[in-house]
Amino acid sequence: MCTYTTVKDAMDGSAKGPGGAWFHVSDVTVYFDHPVHAMAEHTLNIDFADPSKGPSARVALELTAESARRLVAAIQEALAAVPAELTA
């Protein structure tokens, strides 16, 4: 069953996109749905984008629920290991 739950937020970062070129990332969209490419029934899909640069300024991830949970844990662990003054 699909929930159609979609979370959008602003962000500030960079991503390497089509052709190996780096671009600014200003938006993220996260949703749990059927994947386009991954071999799973449902995946957590994350799109990093800069809409001002058109549809090619996008990087997409399709992760199984377990992989997404491990990614969240890895991000939290990496950030917890950094001195607070570096993340301010």
Confidence of residue 18 (pLDDT cuts 50, 70, 90): confident
What pLDDT is stored for residue 3 in this prediction?
A: 77
Span 27-81, pLDDT tens digits: 999 999 999 999 999 999 999 999 999 988 999 999 999 999 999 999 999 999 9
- Of 4 and 6, the structure prediction assigns the larger pLDDT to 6
d(CA 88, CA 67): 28
What pLDDT is stored for residue 19 in this prediction?
A: 84
What pLDDT is stored for residue 1 in this prediction?
A: 67
Instruction: State the pTM of this model.
Output: 0.88
The torsion angles phi and psi of 40, rounded to 5 degrees, stand at -155, 155
d(CA 10, CA 7): 10
Per-domain boundaries in the chain:
6-87
